[in-house]
Amino acid sequence: MDQRIVEQFRDAIGPEAVLTEPVQLVTYECDALPHLRSMPDVVLLPRSAADVQKIVRICDREGVPFVARGHGTGLSGGALPVAGGVVITLAKLNRVLEIDIPNRRVTVEPGVTNLEITRQVAPHGYYYAPDPSSQQVCSLGGNVAENSGGAHCLKYGFTVHHILAVEAVLPNGELVQIGSPLADAPGPDVLGLLVGSEGTLAVVTKVVVRILRKPESVQTLLAAFNSTSEAGAAVSEIIAAGIVPAAVEMMDAVAIEAAEAAVHPNFPPADTILIVELDGPSAEVAELFGIVEATCRNAGATRIEVAQDEAQRGRIWKGRKAAFAAMGRISPNYYVQDGVVPRTKLPEVMARIRQLAEREGIRIGNVFHAGDGNLHPLICYDERIEGQSALAERVAGEILIYCVEAGGSITGEHGVGADKKEFMPRMFSEDSLDVMQSVRDALDPKRLCNPGKVLPTPRLCGEVPGPYREHPIERAGLGERF
């Protein structure tokens, strides 16, 4: 990057907030999807919304692409840097600004972690509902970008249902307040558009979230089944009974093995386990829980464990939430996919996935939000074996196609990012994608705000999406990728 521009950044936010050394830049070349990598030219560490504004203004003026990053835990390459561009990390904007318990809202900077909000309001008996598995580290800014869900979104909805307002810097450098702590702000729901826009329309610098009263009672049950279809039938019965559990999670044998190895939740032996959690007023939970237990038993549960205390409940959830990363214990590499199918189509899609795994000779573990059909197939592979990375990627893509064919979606919560943009045409017509592009063009006409994400870009010569592959020249040590 032109040194003149780097100097502008240094003058604007201070030299210690501008990283240019390769040793520093390399650590930002990917988020939690490590097979997509790209070195940024500069990494910037603003400390305030004013800093962010200064940065974006410079980028706008000089035509520098920029990518916002929280704590880099995204699973779709949303924070993948753009060559020739900057990464704006919001990690230092990590203050909780205001806690308003009577009105059930908390104002935070985007670098505050999801779990930190709950920690802050827990002493008052409140919590922040969206709970992605990475909640101890993922940032609110990232949650807003991805419209993150989590296990409890079945009952409580996603991030977009819990955000009241944001402050953001638009790609032209303007600082705007979108949304309101008061209900019914007139006009189009631009906040609803921003949440889930994956950092392509603005850089969020402040978030006002809604907190909920901690439910009077929580009851968690773990049921072991001999097959996924039996477990699935149990879920259908529960929902048909008019019950909306707080969470319904399923893990298959491979995922159970990984979780056990990692965090020792002491799951009972099973082909598939079902975790059902009910929360709400004690009387309601007590009444409905009996129905849930009976339903599981009737569906063929071989063992049912009811968490007796908070510690046991914590153990069960720890096992579930560590499942992805825990795959690292039983496989050298793994690819976590994120797709959605209508709940009623789960058995058929699971069967297709099983056949796919057998056909390709690859191991696939499954963790999913059974209540809303959001699957997370965990595709195991070993990158040291020739062709395995490519195979894993291809299998992951095929699973997405099954999801779309079943009337589902290519992403339930991880986002499209860089990873899945080429699949967008399978879900949306060219016209629809074009209109989405025009939304982007309206707010970011220079195409600097996280370019190359969400919407498919025309292929440049030789540019192939997917895992980082060394060019033969690089392998021979004769050249470097810029």
Partner 1 sequence: MTSNPPFKGPDQPSRALIDKCVHCGFCLPTCPTYVLWGEEMDSPRGRIYLMKAGLEGRAEMTSSFVQHFDRCLGCLACVTACPSGVQYAPLIEKSRVQIERHYQRPDDERWFRRLLMTLLPYPSRLRILMAPLLALSPFMGRNGGIKPSLARLFPARLQALLAVAPRVSLAGLLGRVPERTPAVGGERLTVALLEGCVQRVAFAGVNEATARVLAAEGCRVDAPRAQGCCGALPLHAGHIDQARELARHNIEVFEKAGVDRIVTNAAGCGSAMKDYGELFEGDPHWAERARAISRKVRDVSQLLVELGEPRAVRRPIPARVVYHDACHLAHGQGVRSEPRALLQSIPGVEVLTPAESEICCGSAGIYNLVQPEPAAELGQRKARNIATLSPDMIATGNPGCTLQIAAAAQALGHDWPIVHPIELLDASIRGVDPRNTN
Partner 2 sequence: MSVSEALRPGTAEDAIDGVVPLRVALPESPEDLARVLADASRERQLTVLRGGGSKIGWGRVADRIDLVIGTARLGRLVAHRYGDMTVTAQAGMPLATLNRHLFEHRQHLPVESAFEDATVGGIIATNDAGPMRHRFGTPRDLLIGVTLAMTDGRLVTAGGTVVKNVAGYDLGKLVSGSHGTLAVIVDATFKLLPLPLASMTLVGSYVDGVALARDVAALHGSQVELTSFDVYAANGRWVLLMRMASSPAATEAQAAEARRLLSSAPTVLSGDEEAALWGEQIRAPWLEGGTVLRLSWLPSNLPAVIALLARLQSRGCRVAAFAGRTMGAGLLRLEGEDSTVLAAVGDLRAAGEVGHVVILRANRRVKEQIDVWGPSTGAIEVGRVLKRKFDPQNILNAGRGPI
Range 319-338, binding partner 1 (CB under 8 A):
322, 324-329, 332-334
Question: Which of 1, 6, 137, 193 is in the footprint of partner 1 by CB under 8 A?
Answer: 137
Q: Does 256 bind partner 1 (CB under 8 A)?
A: no
Closest CB to partner 1 among 22 and 102? 22
Q: How many CB atoms lie within 10 A of CB 244?
A: 14
| Smallest separation, CB 43 to partner 1 (Å) | 8
Beta-carbon-side half-sphere exposure of residue 206 (alpha carbons within 13 Å) = 21
Q: Is 23 in the site for partner 2 (CB under 8 A)?
A: no
Q: How far apart are CB 123 and partner 2 at their closest, in Å?
A: 15
Residue 181 binding: pick among partner 1, partner 2, none (C-beta 5-8 Å cut-off by kind)? partner 2
For residues 72-91, which are near partner 1 according to CB under 8 A? 72-73, 89, 91
Residue closer to partner 2, measured from CB, 174 or 474: 174
Among residues 8, 76, 107, 113, the one that binds partner 1 under rule CB under 8 A: 113
Nearer to partner 2, 34 or 290 (CB): 290
The site string for partner 2 over 350-369 (x = CB under 8 A, - otherwise) reads -------------------x
96 binds partner 1 (CB under 8 A): no
Q: Is 52 in the site for partner 1 (CB under 8 A)?
A: no
* Number of residues lying near partner 1 (CB under 8 A): 43
**Given the rule CB under 8 A, which of 35-43, 184-192, 248-256, 320-328 is the region that contacts partner 2?**
184-192
- What is the distance between the alpha carbons of residues 235 and 370, in angstroms, rounded to a whole number? 7
Q: Exactly one of 41, 51, 146, 249 binds partner 2 (CB under 8 A); which one?
A: 146
Count interface residues toward partner 2 (CB under 8 A). 87
If binding is defined by CB under 8 A, does position 196 make contact with partner 2?
A: yes
Which among 275, 333, 334, 332 has a CA at the least distance from the CA of 307? 275
Q: Which of 84, 268, 300, 342 binds partner 2 (CB under 8 A)?
A: 342
The three state secondary structure string of the chain is: CCHHHHHHHHHHHCHHHEECCHHHHHHHCCCCCCCCCCCCCEEECCCCHHHHHHHHHHHHHHCCCEEEECCCCCCCCCCCCCCCCEEEECCCCCCEEEEECCCCEEEECCCCEHHHHHHHHHHHCEECCCCCCCCCCCEHHHHHHHCCCCCCHHHHCCHHHCEEEEEEECCCCCEEEEECCCCCCCCCCHHHHHCCCCCCCCEEEEEEEECEECCCEEEEEEEEECCHHHHHHHHHHHHHCCCCCCEEEEEEHHHHHHHHHHHCCCCCCCCEEEEEEEEECHHHHHHHHHHHHHHHHHCCCCEEEECCCHHHHHHHHHHHHCHHHHHHHHCCEEEECCEECCHHHHHHHHHHHHHHHHHHCCCEEEEEECCCCEEEEEEEECCCCCCHHHHHHHHHHHHHHHHHHCCCECCCCCCCCCCCHHHHHHHCCHHHHHHHHHHHHHHCCCCCECCCCCCCCCCCCCCCCCCCCCCHHHHCCCCCCC
92 near partner 1, rule: CB under 8 A: yes
Positions 202 through 261 that interact with partner 2 (CB under 8 A):
213, 215-216, 236, 239, 242-244
Residues from 391 through 430 that contact partner 2 (CB under 8 A): 407-416, 420, 424, 427-429
Single out the residue of 13, 18, 30, 239 in contact with partner 1 (rule: CB under 8 A): 30
Using the rule CB under 8 A, which residue among 3, 21, 102, 309 binds partner 1?
A: 21
**Which CB sits closer to partner 2, 70 or 149?**
149
Judged by beta carbon, residue 11 or residue 441, the one nearer partner 2 is 441
55 lies in the site for partner 1, by CB under 8 A: no
Shortest CB 30 distance to partner 2, Å: 21
Nearer Cβ to partner 1, position 265 or 412?
265
Q: Which does 3 bind (CB under 5 to 8 A by kind): partner 2, partner 1, none?
A: none
**Closest of 107, 95, 86, 96 to residue 12, by C-alpha:** 86
List of residues contacting partner 1 (CB under 8 A)? 19, 21-24, 26-28, 30-34, 45, 71-73, 89, 91-92, 94, 111, 113, 134, 136-138, 261-263, 322, 324-329, 332-334, 474, 477, 480
